[in-house]
Amino acid sequence: MKHELIPLSSPELWKEALQDIPHAFGHTWENCYAMHLSTELPTYLYQFKHGDAKVICPISERSFMGKIDIVTPYGFSGFTGNNNIYEFPLYWKKFAQERGYVCGYIGLNPLLIHSSYIDSESIYKHNILYFINLQYSVVELYKKLSNNRKRQLKNFHTIHDSITTDKTILIDFFLSNYHDFFAQRKASMIYNFSFETLSYLAGLDNVIAIGVFQNEQVEAVSLFAYTDYVAEYLFNVSLPQGQKYTVPLIWHAIHQLKALNIPFLNLGGGVSENDSIAQFKERFGAEKLDLTALKQVYNPADYEMLCKKSLQNVEYKSGYFPAYRSPLS
């Protein structure tokens, strides 16, 4: 039995650990390195081995009043592995305590969850994700679309020649418009990534850029990342006149990802359950899965102390976690 933290400074070991383990883009060294360019947090791939079984999960360490807590980097990652290990929650908690962590917020990818890795008492649902099963044929996927989606794609052939995957023009548009686009929509600060993060992500081989080039300019760009196991809809940025192309760009991505034999596309979720963004994604005929996370306290005494110093309630089973990091502190 062995616990290991593989640092970002060892990309080859990180990639080796992911071999033959079902994983999403959020687990990859590339995604975690990109997030580190914005957060500057010490970031690792946690790896647990027990016989032939292996569990992995990316984590970042954060300091608060001299204490350390952990969080999964931005993306859909969490614990994943190759075999059930029913004792794993106990092994993990002991490791976290020995590392001196106060608590941990571990986001989980619902497509990759092993129930044996999860302490059911610390799991909390906070949203819904929408997945398209790309193992269906294009004809079957089209049938699953809502009537409104079918209407929006009725003239897909008329703009097909305007769709491009040429990153030499799409990345420049994406980087030049990203921050203004999200600021105008008053998006959460979680999307306020640095230019370095965005530039690195956009340039990756396993990140697809799809855009519309009309009237001698790019009008909309969508980015999709993928592993062999699942693709993810990362970002969409458009000019006002380019907003109408969001649906065709996703439909084009479905074709492209199917050609790569990627089995699922994670469209993400809404800001909250059943909001307009969630409904937009559901109309693609997507399957719904609960988005959950683990809220775990490893050192109750330190957690209580930090909450009291931050004038926050110690209760953590609902609301912002960890409570002492609440924006209202």
Q: What pLDDT score was predicted for residue 186?
A: 86
Could you read off the pLDDT of 32-82 as tens digits, one per residue?
999 999 999 999 999 999 999 999 999 999 999 999 999 999 999 999 999
Could you read off the pLDDT of 304-322 as tens digits, one per residue?
999 999 988 887 667 889 9
- For the chain, domain boundaries: 2-128+290-325, 136-262
pLDDT by 10s per residue, the chain, length 329: 899 999 999 999 999 999 999 999 999 999 999 999 999 999 999 999 999 999 999 999 999 999 999 999 999 999 999 999 999 999 999 999 999 999 999 999 999 999 999 988 899 999 999 999 999 999 999 999 999 999 999 888 888 889 999 999 999 999 999 999 999 988 888 899 999 999 999 999 999 999 999 888 999 999 999 999 999 999 999 999 999 999 999 999 999 999 999 999 999 999 889 899 999 999 999 999 999 999 999 999 999 999 999 988 887 667 889 999 988 65
Residue type at position 302: D
Spatial separation of the C-alpha atoms in residues 89 and 298, rounded to whole Å: 12
- Supply the DSSP symbol for 191: G
Spatial separation of the C-alpha atoms in residues 318 and 316, rounded to whole Å: 5
SS3 297: strand
* pTM value > 0.85: yes
Please determine, looking at this structure, whether the domain spanning 136-262 carries the CATH number 3.30.1050.10.
Answer: no
Whether 2-128+290-325 shares its CATH topology with 136-262 is answered: yes
* R_g over Cα of the chain: 21
Q: What pLDDT score was predicted for residue 328?
A: 67
Q: What pLDDT score was predicted for residue 155?
A: 84
Q: What pLDDT score was predicted for residue 132?
A: 98
Please determine, looking at this structure, whether the domain spanning 2-128+290-325 carries the CATH number 3.40.630.
Answer: yes
Q: What pLDDT score was predicted for residue 283?
A: 96
Q: What pLDDT score was predicted for residue 258?
A: 98
Spatial separation of the C-alpha atoms in residues 156 and 163, rounded to whole Å: 10
C-alpha distance from residue 100 to each of 37, 61, 105 (Å): 25, 11, 15
Spatial separation of the C-alpha atoms in residues 241 and 218, rounded to whole Å: 10
